[in-house]
Amino acid sequence: MHHLYSISDIERQTGIGRDTLRVWERRYGFPTPQRNQRGEREYSREQLERLCLIKQLLDSGQRPGKLLLLNLSHLQQLAQQSKPKQSLSADVEQMLNLLATTDSSIVRERLELLLHQHGLHLFLTELVAPLNQAVGEAWFHGRLGVLEEHRYVEELRSLLAVTIQSLAVPRTGLRALLTTLPGEQHGVGLLMAACILELEGVEVLQLGVQTPLEEIRRGAVENHCRLVGISCSSYLQRRATASQLVRLRGMLPKEIALWAGGSGAQGVTALPDSIQLFHDLQQIPAAVTKLSTHVTPAAASPD
């Protein structure tokens, strides 16, 4: 029996909202879900793969009207043509092979070895960042299953959490609050950003994922944070990401910087200059240095 996906599964795995899926179904005749005994929509694996490709192509600037008429093969060809070729490093390729063929303990041991070999900064920027993307693509193309993808995420999350606790560097006087927007369930980017910030001497307060905007504001103010960092994956639509970032900026005091990074922040437009977007982790150190020159006594001495 072939596995079927609920509309919540499709929304979570593609980043396409359920309202958009319903509109496409009526307007373009795709997707074409079945109905279960409760009358709920259920989608096939082939439809999930088509929708993942459609989301990828929409993010590159193409229009849905044309894409929704293409079959899986044509969408795959179009995606390959629109995507620049990237060669995986030997370490990234080896990690993909390990994820596909070995147990969790070996995966964790290999990640720990690479961390010790390269140091935390290079480990995050040169290995983990491209590996995250490669793991997602390997899952999409069937090279890795959901189990292997989840195993990688949990092993990485555990390793980074332990690493953060062990860091001991001079403090800059800056305190940062890190979280994701409501509806954003992916938190690995938070840990990666937290590691880089801690290396730069920033004290990090992590709230986890899906924090209501008012709680972000309250947490930042009550904990005397100088900046709020938001991790954005492509799970949320860019319009929803932009809208929530603008609302949050209006709720935060002007002296608290608002930073946003991750794949979901790339391509977001029409944001005020007071929201700083980060395309990769390597931008963080320079931004911390700049922010450190404007630390106020209140921010530096929260007690």
Could you say which of 82, 108, 140 is where a domain stops? 82
CATH number at residue 192: 3.40.50.280
- What was the pLDDT predicted at 83? 58
Which pairing describes strands 203-206 and 41-43: parallel, antiparallel, or unpaired?
unpaired
Q: Specify the number of domains making up the chain.
A: 3
Query: Measured over all CA atoms, what is the biggest interatomic distance in the chain, rounded to whole angstroms?
Result: 64
Domain containing residue 252: 171-300
Reported as a pLDDT band with limits 50, 70 and 90, residue 21 is very high
CA gyration radius, the chain: 21
- Check whether 89 has a pLDDT greater than 90: no
Pick 81 or 116 by higher pLDDT.
116
Amino acid identity at 121: H
Q: Are 220 and 228 in contact (CB under 8 A)?
A: yes
Q: What CA–CA distance (Å, rounded) separates 92 from 140? A: 17
pLDDT at 294: 62
Q: Are 21 and 123 found together in one domain?
A: no
Last residue of a domain, one of 82, 99, 122: 82
Which tokens hold the place of 273? 């200059």
Q: pLDDT-derived band of residue 84, with 50, 70 and 90 as boundaries?
A: low
Average pLDDT, the chain: 85
pLDDT for 97: 86
pLDDT at position 61 is 77
Q: Is the pLDDT of residue 295 over 80?
A: no
Tokens describing residue 13: 């795995």
For 274-301, what is the mean pLDDT? 76
Domain boundary among 165, 192, 214: 165
**Taken in order 111, 115, 121, 122, is the CA torsion positive or negative?**
negative
Q: Does 297 have pLDDT greater than 80?
A: no
* 219 band by pLDDT with thresholds 50, 70 and 90: very high
Claim to verify: residue 285 and residue 207 sit in the same structural domain = yes
Q: Does 184 share its domain with 278?
A: yes
Q: Which of 108-122, 135-149, 195-209, 211-225 has the highest mean pLDDT?
A: 211-225
Kindly state whether residues 135 and 47 are assigned to the same domain: no
Task: Find the mean pLDDT for residues 192-205.
Answer: 91
Domain CATH code at residue 118: 1.10.1240.10
Whether residue 132 sits in one domain with residue 187: no
CATH number where 39 lies: 1.10.1660.10
**pLDDT digits 0-9 by tens, 22-61:** 999 999 999 999 999 999 999 998 898 899 888 878 877 7
At residue 212, does pLDDT exceed 90?
Answer: yes
